[in-house]
Amino acid sequence: MSKYFKSNEENMSVAFLDVLDRAREIAGIPFIINSAYRSPDHPESIKNPTSSHIKGLAVDIKVTDSRTRSIILTALIAAGLTRIGIADRFIHVDMDFEKSQNVIWTY
């Protein structure tokens, strides 16, 4: 059962939510989720049919400033997450082992 995230999140990986809980605990600040599971017919899924969001293995976490971005990024890495995308207003993180690991990209 997730401590910080809805345990009934539709189609989300329980193992991924456990690691996300660990990261949230490390960060000590709330993670505001902009996007989690996306159905295959979601407009973003149609643009990117290999998205980890479709598998319930990804979230986009809202960030509003550089300090928050640093805290969240540090916590995600400390929790063992190794696939991270950084945008101006969000951090994408996924636990999709079918994709390259130990990568950080920008949008």
CATH number at residue 92: 3.30.1380.10
The conformation of residue 30, written as its DSSP 8-state character, comes to -
For residue 95, being part of any structural domain is answered with yes
Exposed e or buried b per residue across 57-87, where buried means at least 16 C-beta atoms within 10 angstroms of its C-beta: bbbbbebeeeebbebbbebbeebebebbbbe
For residue 86, being part of any structural domain is answered with yes
Return the structure tokens found at 93: 């993180």
For residue 43, being part of any structural domain is answered with yes
Give the 3-state secondary structure of residue 17. Answer: helix
For residue 9, being part of any structural domain is answered with no
What tens-digit pLDDT sequence spans the chain (107 residues)?
A: 678 876 556 789 999 999 999 999 999 999 999 999 999 999 999 999 999 999 999 999 999 999 999 999 999 999 999 999 999 999 999 999 999 999 999 99
* Domain housing 90: 15-106
What is the pTM for the complete model shown?
Answer: 0.93
Beta-carbon contacts of 95 under 8 Å, excluding residues fewer than 6 positions away, are 13, 15, 16, 19, 52, 57, 58, 81, 83
For residue 33, being part of any structural domain is answered with yes
Question: In the chain, how many domains are there?
Answer: 1
H or E element in which residue 107 lies: none
Return the structure tokens found at 103: 């990568």
